[in-house]
Amino acid sequence: MTAGRALPITVRGLVRRYGKVAALDGVDLDVAQGEFLTLLGPSGSGKTTLLMIMAGFTRPDAGSVKFGNVEMVRTPPHKRNLGVVFQSYALFPHMDVAANVAFPLTLRGVGGAERERRVKQALEQVQLGALGGRRVDQLSGGQRQRVALARAIVFEPGILLMDEPLSALDKKLREQMQIELRHLHRSLGTTVIYVTHDQREALTLSDRIAVIDQGQIQQIDTPQRLYEEPASHFVADFIGDSTFVPVTVAGGVARWRDVPLRLPTAPRDGAYLLVLRPEKLVLGGAPDLNGIDAEVAEIVYQGDSVRVDVRLAGGDIVTLRELARAGRIAALPPPGSIVRLGFDPADTLLVPAP
Amino acid sequence: MTAEAVADRLNAAGIRADARREKSALAALTAPSFVILGLMLFIPVGWLFWLSFIEDGAFSLENYTRMVVEPAYRSIFLTTLELSVLVTVLSVLLGYPVAYMIAMLPPRAASITLTLVLVPFWTAILVRTYAWLVLLQRRGVVNSVLMSWGIIDEPLQLVHNFTGTAIGMLHIMIPFLVLPLYANMRAIDRDYVRAAASLGASPVTAFFKVYLPLSIPGLAAGTVMVFIICLGFYITPQFLGGGRVTTISMKIQQNVATYFNWGAASSLGVVLFLSTILIFWGFSRLFPLRRITEVGGS
């Protein structure tokens, strides 16, 4: 199974209403050939609706969906030649593993030794070579997930749609499958649209992430740019454990209360929110860091790290994380102490106040 | 740790006593229905079973040999079988789309429609059978309408025969097919058909390759229920058959009420009972009924 057949996707002006609620409110999206694009958003944001419209299971009220140069919006699902992996896996319980994987080949008139060879190859690609004869109900959750994947790629579709495929797995298996999906995407070269509400999964897997809320794409960017340069309060809040404190910019200088903050680039004057993320903050800190005073409110031991909640003047609680290394926990100032909260000017991020 | 060691542990005796008490409470709650079943079912049935082997106060197989030898009995068995097969097949053909439609409706509309299917259950079978008599007789509603529209010139013989019996029974049987089938279909995740479509199956292919096989357990449960009820059906053939249709249960009634031959009636009852058990066993071997709840789960 090789790349080259992968198709770009072009979405224009997609609208879908349920009664008065717009599940999708004019969505435009360009996905490059072979790209791994994740639709990330809270439940009810419209991400699944967008995927279901691409798959052909939901009719939009208006808009265009093109695979390559071909308009697909009125094409029934069985003529779209898409691989779809469902959250429920939807493996046919009345067929064994091999029959499930062979199903799309049979429908395409592939039979005999050729079909057998391709089923075997697809199962090997998801590391399930030996399980072709098993019944579906004899498989573990992780194995079912792999069979669903094998069935979706065996007919070499140019586009693979995945609807929260890992959400039913436990954390350890989920993380392992994320890495395997990365590798599989690289070896197949297929265009992938992936829906999830798990930000870490999105960051791990994607070439680009489209953050969706209220039926609109809020920001679409690479994982790093999305995390480091969120365009809005919503994106900064949805990705990462952020705390926000109000900041004003006047005359090119940003101030939290009366404390001036150095910034990589000064934005236009106005009201902003300072994005404080646990891993960017230190207690104490050198003079070349931005610093604001705070009182230690609570210290919680969490195994790999210690969570330290500090209270700023004005009452905002900010969380920072100290890695649990030898001596570090004992050295933490006890609750009630006044400390200086330090963060690098390059990590000092403002988003427009909503 | 040995069993004795555990037995001596803290509170072990008390905890075991609690478990025992729970079990005996359950037994006490179910005992009345078991006693009633035992007294009201097994004793009379056992007595009838015994009667079927008695002729003139002595053991005899005459009641059974008569069924094989006499042509009248053979035609009764055949009529019952024909009627049951016909009504079952028509129930499947008419009931499957109904169950499918209800399963596809949103929950609220589904429960309303299901209630409509169940409304006939709230009316006595006798009342419904007489209603069909009114509709189907020579000067009944159906014939009048058909004649006034010029579709027919003469009234059709729709009742007091095999046709009328089948129509009346069909009406009563369809809910028995729809209910288990609907329960099965409701449990079939819609993703299965979507998955089939995404893999390239047209709606017709997806139905026959995926949906229909997944609905087989419910279909089998409904079919076997309808068929078994048909085999022993009495009221509708009696009232709509017009004396031209004689089923096993009608013959039983005749043997008891007209000829006072309890032995002959009992032997028919025994044969009916055994064939029902046999059919049920056959079906459950072909289609494991317990799988209804498993399909679509997980």
Q: Please report, for chain B, the start and end positions of each structural domain, with discontinuous segments joined by +.
A: 61-297
Q: What is the DSSP string of B161-193?
A: SHHHHHHHHHHHHHHHHHHHHHHHHHTS-HHHH
Q: Is pLDDT of B210 > 60? A: yes
Is the alpha carbon torsion for B268, B274, B279, B280 positive or negative?
A: positive
Tokens of residue B105, six digits = 């409706």
Is the sign of the CA dihedral B48, B54, B56, B61 positive or negative?
Answer: positive
pLDDT at B60: 87
What structural domains does chain A harbor?
9-233 (3.40.50.300), 241-352 (2.40.50.100)
For residue A76, which residues of chain B lie inside 8 Å, CB to CB? 197, 202-203
B31 CA: distance to closest CA in chain A (Å): 38
Q: What integer pLDDT is reported at residue B120 of this predicted model?
A: 79
DSSP state of A313: T
Model pLDDT for residues A85-106, shown as the tens digit of each residue: 999 999 999 999 999 999 999 9
Nearest CA in chain B to A90: B192
Q: What is the mean pLDDT of residues B212-232?
A: 92
According to CATH, the topology of domain B61-297 is MetI-like fold (1.10.3720)
Rounded to the nearest angstrom, the minimum Cα separation between B191 and chain A is 6
What share of chain B in percent tops pLDDT 70? 93
User: Searching chain B, which residue's CA lies closest to the CA of residue A138?
Assistant: B298
Is there a contact between A344 and A276 (Cβ–Cβ < 8 Å)?
Answer: no
The answer, yes or no, to whether ipTM is higher than 0.90 is no
Optimal mutation site among A72, A92, A151, interface B, most CBs of chain B within 10 A = A92
Q: Which residue do the tokens 């997930």 mark?
A: A145
Backbone φ, ψ for residue A176 (5° rounding): -65, -45
Alpha-carbon gap: B55 to the closest alpha carbon of chain A (Å): 53
Looking at residue B7, its pLDDT comes to 60
The residue of chain A nearest to residue B194, with distances taken between CA atoms, is A57
Q: Looking at residue A4, what is its pLDDT?
A: 46
pTM of the full predicted structure? 0.82
Question: For B192, which residue in chain A has the nearest alpha carbon?
Answer: A90
For chain A, 354 residues long, the average pLDDT of each consecutive 10-residue run is 72 94 94 96 93 96 95 96 94 93 95 94 89 89 93 94 92 92 92 94 96 95 95 93 91 88 87 93 85 92 91 91 83 90 92 90
Distance from CA of B206 to the nearest CA of A (A): 10
Does A82 touch chain B if contact means CB atoms closer than 8 Å?
yes
Q: Give the Cα separation of A91 and A145 in Å (integer).
A: 9
